[in-house]
Amino acid sequence: MIWRCDLVPQYEAYQDEINEAIQRVLRSGRYVLGENVAAFEEEFASYIGCQCGVGVNSGTDALMLALWCFNLQKGDEVITTPFTAIPTYSAIRHVGATPVFVDVDPATFLMDLKQVEKALTAKTRAIVPVHLFGNVVDIEKLREIVGPDVFILEDCAQSHGASIRGKMSGSIGDIAAFSFYPTKNLGGYGDGGMVLTNCKDFAEMVRLRRMYGMINKDEFITDGINSRLDELQAAILRVKLRYLDQMNRRRQELATIYENLLDDSFIKPQLVKDGVNAVYHVYSTLCTERRDELMMYLEGKNIQTNVYYPMPLSQQRGYKNTFQTSVELPVTAEVSKRIIALPFYSEISAETLAFVANSINEFYHRMI
Ligand SMILES: Cc1ncc(COP(=O)(O)O)c(C=O)c1O
């Protein structure tokens, strides 16, 4: 079977260092918020180009704790994209704000910046652009549109190491949320996340709130939750961070192989604009037609594909009544029907990619 994503080859490539890091933690007797978490916070913040990093339990918690810094009140609006993983949306709801959707661009699949201005109201307090599939939203342009008073939270769950005009995603807005879920470009072997910011007050708030609002074992100065990053994940992530650029470069080479081989009259890759250094968290492309039949055809050849995201958030059963019904999201609806994620991870071989690409071309050419 050719898996859409296989995590074992990456473990095998770095297993000596990873096993040693795990052993050191197990022997240390300190398993949560210890020296590895502190070191990883510094190393990852410095890699992205931010002053402060606070390790938390997941990307969802990172989004929620970041939004919590904005002191949002009921009725405050937070703009985001409907074409993202559910946590982007649920985090906004969790802090009691009202999510507002802006449709996506049909070629980049990123929030359509041309539409942001129309979505701004007197109640808009923040915006959460998502650097989807490792592509990068132009945050500087977004800042010009929203002005200085709307907080920008970058959802970087899929964009570790991606940059625009030389600036890393996660370093440009007011605050950023990263996920270290195993499949991410930088992934651990369990859940993990981090909030990055240059604002010391925000960082301090997140630091307090990730552990009950505690300043010492007997004093609690604010509301908080339990969202700690554990030492094992931090130790593993420290090893993998050293190889992130190398793994991302390989993803870029592999993306170019797909791009060169796939017949773009039938299947169109995600547009990466000039100045963007994308890191291809997944390789998602748009089929001109017959997406579901293509997926079945590939399955018959033992090629696993996937769809991110088959059902727009606005149509999810649990969220239907939470969504402004007046807003039309035609591009998201269309892209959801035509998008397909092909087998892709940094250790997949060029030969396997060629087999997948040829199988797709064969499917479409038979049709003519
Ligand atoms: C765009 C986006 N935002 C947020 C998250 C949430 O991250 P986590 O699964 O670590 O909570 C994910 C992960 O699936 C994601 O893809």
pLDDT at 314: 76
Which atom of ligand 1 sits closest to the CA of residue 193? 10
Give the distance, in angstroms, between the CA of residue 54 and the centroid of all CA atoms in the same chain.
Answer: 17
Pocket-testing residue among 133, 181, 186, 280, ligand 1, by greatest number of atoms within 8 A of Cβ: 181
Closest approach atom of ligand 1 to CA 60: 11
In whole angstroms, how far apart are CA 197 and each of 91, 170, 342? 18, 8, 33
Amino acid at 7: L
Atom of ligand 1 nearest to the CA of 61: 11
What is the reported pLDDT for 321? 75
Query: Ligand 1: which atom is nearest the Cα of residue 179?
Result: 10
- Report CA(45)–ligand 1 centroid distance (Å): 19
Show the tokens assigned to 198. Answer: 């240059």
For residue 117, the CA-to-ligand 1 centroid distance in Å is 26
- Counting beta carbons within 10 angstroms of the beta carbon of residue 36, is it exposed (0 to 12), middle (13 to 18) or buried (19 or more)? buried
Q: What is the pLDDT of residue 325?
A: 65
Task: Kindly give the distance from the C-alpha atom of residue 132 to the centroid of ligand 1, in angstroms, as a whole number.
Answer: 11
- Contacts of residue 339, defined as CB under 8 A and 6 or more positions apart, other chains included, come to 109, 284, 285, 286, 287, 291, 307, 308
Question: How many A from CA of 88 to the centre of ligand 1?
Answer: 7
pLDDT tens series, the chain, 368 aa = 999 999 999 999 999 999 999 999 999 999 999 999 999 999 999 999 999 999 999 999 999 999 999 999 999 999 999 999 999 999 999 999 999 999 999 999 999 999 999 999 999 999 999 999 999 999 999 999 999 999 999 999 999 999 999 999 999 999 999 999 999 999 999 999 999 999 999 999 999 999 999 999 999 999 999 999 999 999 999 999 999 999 999 999 999 999 999 999 999 999 999 999 999 999 999 999 999 999 999 999 999 999 999 987 777 888 877 776 667 899 999 999 999 999 999 999 999 999 999 999 999 998 77
Ligand 1 site-directed mutation target among 57, 81, 153, 158, most atoms within 8 Å of CB: 158
pLDDT for 320 equals 76
Please report the pLDDT score of residue 13 as a whole number.
97
Hey, whose CA ends up nearest to atom 8 of ligand 1? 59
- Residue among 179, 284, 309, 313 whose CB has most ligand 1 atoms within 8 A, to mutate: 179
Alpha carbon of 358 to ligand 1 centroid (Å): 32
Ligand 1 center from residue 160 Cα (angstroms): 12
Please name which of 307, 260, 303 lies closest in space to residue 282, comparing C-alpha atoms.
307
Residue 322: predicted pLDDT: 78
How far is the centre of ligand 1, averaged over its atoms, from the C-alpha of 87 (Å)?
6
Which residue's alpha carbon is nearest to atom 7 within ligand 1? 59
66 CA to centre of ligand 1 in angstroms: 14
Sign of CA dihedral 282, 285, 290, 294: negative
Probe residue for ligand 1, chosen from 56, 58, 60 as the CB with the greatest number of ligand atoms within 8 Å: 60
What are the pocket residues of ligand 1 if the criterion is a CB atom closer than 6 Å to any ligand atom? 58-60, 63, 84-85, 87-88, 130, 155, 157-158, 179, 181, 191, 193
Q: Residue 160's closest CA among 255, 42, 240?
A: 240
Ligand 1 atom showing the smallest separation from residue 58 Cα: 10
Cα angle for residues 282, 228, 279 (degrees, 5° grid): 20
**What is the pLDDT at residue 326?**
65
Determine the distance separating the centroid of ligand 1 and the alpha carbon of 189, expressed in angstroms: 15
